[in-house]
Amino acid sequence: MKLNDPTLLHTETYIDGQWVGADGGEAFDVVNPADGAVVGSVPDLGVGETRRAIDSANRALPEWRALTAKKRASALKKWHTLLMENVEDIAQIMSLEMGKPIRESRGEAVFGSNFVEWFAEEGKRAYGEIIPTHDVSKRLLVVRQPIGVVGAITPWNFPLAMITRKVAPALAAGCTVVVKPAEDSPLTALAAADLADRAGLPAGVLNIITTSNPEPVGQEISTNPIIRKISFTGSTEVGKHLMANAAGTVKNVSLELGGNAPFIVFDDADMDAAVQGAIASKYRNSGQTCICANRIYVQAGIYDEFAKKFAEAVSSLKVGAAVDDATEIGPLVNQDALEKVETLVTDALEKGAGVLTGGKRHALGKTYYEVTVLTNVTSDMRVASEEIFGPVAPLYRFETEDEAIALANDTTYGLASYFYAGDLGRIWRVSEGLEYGMIGINTGLISTELHPFGGVKESGIGREGSHHGLSEFLETKYLCMGGI
């Protein structure tokens, strides 16, 4: 790996302002999914080190929350500047440890940095209220204060943005944070922590727990009484487990969980735009995102034409090494991910689906899978109800607007959805009818630091990004002043 600043590649983790190893010296390797080569090695921490990190965050809390919002913003702005100055190195680390195409990694490095900049400013706007009184001798006020020590657990697929989207608002609000990044992609988190340290964050304000055994660490974070807030992005199954753990001490919980995003193309849509939107949504990060198009519904009258154009466009996507500038589809994150994709495709084919392009492991080997389009997919196939998390696009046929809405909503998930249509009345009806926290209308790309990110039903609780994301880390306190 060629980095402009090689010191950003860490072999120790960051706790209480210090770079440390595991108590017993244990470590685990982080490997490149494209070729199995070791990218780096990081400490393999357990419950004891996690407790010390939580204690460190607790010690740092009084001084950090006592700072003015402007002073906290100053440190965050310095962090943002350093992140932007090191975009290329962050992107290189990210691509090598989890396989994201380098062009997308550069985009994520900027995207993740944007959250820090946004919340540096938004933290200064945690306004309270003055309530018109019911009694002339009293004054009624509401203030908003930091919730306390935060435990953040983040996934591998966006190893910078999923951290900054949680950490930046927490720090801006005056909270301190313990972060457990995914075991597949801890190196990006450590690089970000290094830059936060250089920006002048006080010791203990930000702590990173690297581990190859997330269950006991997650158990400690979700049950330790010092932790007042859990912010988790990951699977619905794990989210439910953490939520149950957090109930023991009635922690505040934000959960961004699984998705099963529908992408609907109506017969009055701009078909060429819909094809490009579907590609942008489905194949970003090789299909490994919680908001990517998982079920593509096409109205019957245009189904065959759309399928032909879509498959032709998809077949030209370049599969290759993540660090190659020409690559559009990289490897899947690990062997388990590859086998899951293969199993879902096999199930669909056995139940009658057809293949327009792809459909098997790629000739590059390792964890590469061909860019795939399945046709004539039906609701009894596993791809209809399970997240694919790979470069596989299943196409479904529908007849009417009401049918499309019903099919799209026929899932326990409700994170993101997309549709392409021309008629304004249809746009309003479908937007209101879809049971999702986020809807892309005539676009396949919806993410920005400016909007509230989150879902409904079993896709989670709470919102990240925008001013709503700051509120997740603030308590509302009512003050009643008498004797006036």
- For the chain, the average pLDDT equals 97
* Nearest to 13, CA basis, from 44, 40, 38: 44
Confidence category of residue 210, pLDDT binned at 50, 70, 90:
very high
In the prediction, which pLDDT does 229 show? 98
Instruction: For residue 82, give both structure tokens.
Output: 């350093």
Q: Indicate the angle between helix axes 69-85 and 161-173, nearest 10 degrees.
A: 160
The answer as to whether 233 is a domain residue is yes
Does residue 338 sit in the same domain as residue 463?
Answer: no
Does residue 156 sit in the same domain as residue 287?
Answer: no
Does residue 268 sit in the same domain as residue 247?
Answer: no
Q: Is the pLDDT of residue 188 over 90?
A: yes
The answer as to whether 93 is a domain residue is yes
Q: What is the torsion angle, in degrees rounded to the nearest 10, for the CA atoms of residue 97, residue 102, residue 106 and residue 109?
A: -10
Per-residue model confidence as pLDDT tens digits over 89-140: 999 999 999 999 999 999 999 999 999 999 999 999 999 999 999 999 999 9
The DSSP letter of residue 3 is -
What is the rounded average pLDDT of the residues 248-258?
97
Give CA–CA dist 251/240, Å, rounded.
14
Contact present, 159 and 188 (Cβ < 8 Å): yes
Alpha helices in 199-235 (DSSP H): 214-223
Does residue 299 sit in the same domain as residue 429?
Answer: yes
User: Which residue spans within 291-369 are E strands per DSSP?
Assistant: 293-299, 354-357
What is the rounded average pLDDT of the residues 385-396?
96
* Nearest to 416, CA basis, from 269, 312, 305, 264: 264
Does residue 284 sit in the same domain as residue 405?
Answer: yes
Alpha helices in 383-441 (DSSP H): 401-409, 424-433
The dihedral region occupied by 99, where left means phi > 0, alpha psi between -120 and 50, and beta the remainder, is left
Cβ neighbours around 429 below 10 Å, total: 15
In the prediction, which pLDDT does 280 show? 96
Does residue 80 sit in the same domain as residue 142?
Answer: yes
Share of the chain above pLDDT 90, in %: 100
In the prediction, which pLDDT does 1 show? 76
What is the rounded average pLDDT of the residues 15-20?
98
- Between the alpha carbon of residue 142 and those of residues 145, 251, 481, the distances in Å are 10, 22, 11
The answer as to whether 16 is a domain residue is yes
Does residue 304 sit in the same domain as residue 441?
Answer: yes
What is the rounded average pLDDT of the residues 150-168?
97
Share of the chain above pLDDT 70, in %: 100
Q: What's the pTM value of the predicted model, to 2 decimals?
A: 0.95
The answer as to whether 323 is a domain residue is yes
What count of residues does the chain have? 484
Q: Is the pLDDT of residue 219 over 80?
A: yes
Contact present, 243 and 253 (Cβ < 8 Å): yes
Cβ neighbours around 221 below 10 Å, total: 31
Does residue 34 sit in the same domain as residue 129?
Answer: yes
The answer as to whether 363 is a domain residue is yes
Residues noted as catalytic:
256, 290
The answer as to whether 185 is a domain residue is yes
**CATH number of 316's domain:** 3.40.309.10
Does residue 152 sit in the same domain as residue 182?
Answer: yes
Instruction: For residue 329, give both structure tokens.
Output: 């589809």
Up-side HSE of residue 329: CA atoms within 13 Å toward CB?
26
Does residue 402 sit in the same domain as residue 474?
Answer: no
Q: Report the DSSP pairing between strands 149-153 and 176-180.
A: parallel
In the prediction, which pLDDT does 59 show? 98
Give CA–CA dist 123/171, Å, rounded.
9
The answer as to whether 1 is a domain residue is no
3-state DSSP helix/strand/coil % of the chain, to nearest 5: 40, 20, 35
Give CA–CA dist 69/173, Å, rounded.
8
349 — phi, psi (to 5°)?
-65, -40
Q: Which amino acid does the sequence have at 214? A: P
In the prediction, which pLDDT does 74 show? 98
In the prediction, which pLDDT does 364 show? 95
Confidence category of residue 226, pLDDT binned at 50, 70, 90:
very high
Give CA–CA dist 130/383, Å, rounded.
52
The answer as to whether 63 is a domain residue is yes
Domain span at residue 398?
261-410+416-449
Number of domains in the chain: 2
* Nearest to 196, CA basis, from 73, 71, 79: 79
In the prediction, which pLDDT does 34 show? 92
**Which residues touch 178 (CB under 8 Å, ≥6 apart)?**
50, 53, 54, 57, 149, 150, 151, 152, 207, 209, 221, 227
CB-count exposure of residue 400 (10 Å: 0-12, 13-18, 19+): exposed
Give CA–CA dist 96/322, Å, rounded.
7
Instruction: For residue 20, give both structure tokens.
Output: 């440390």
Secondary structure (DSSP) of 149-192: EEEEE--SSSTTHHHHHHHHHHHHHT-EEEEE--TTSHHHHHHH
Map tokens 């009635």 to a residue. Answer: 250
**CATH number of 65's domain:** 3.40.605.10
Secondary structure (DSSP) of 46-79: -HHHHHHHHHHHHHHHHHHHHS-HHHHHHHHHHH
Does residue 215 sit in the same domain as residue 249?
Answer: yes
Per-residue model confidence as pLDDT tens digits over 450-469: 999 999 999 999 999 999 99
Does residue 198 sit in the same domain as residue 226?
Answer: yes
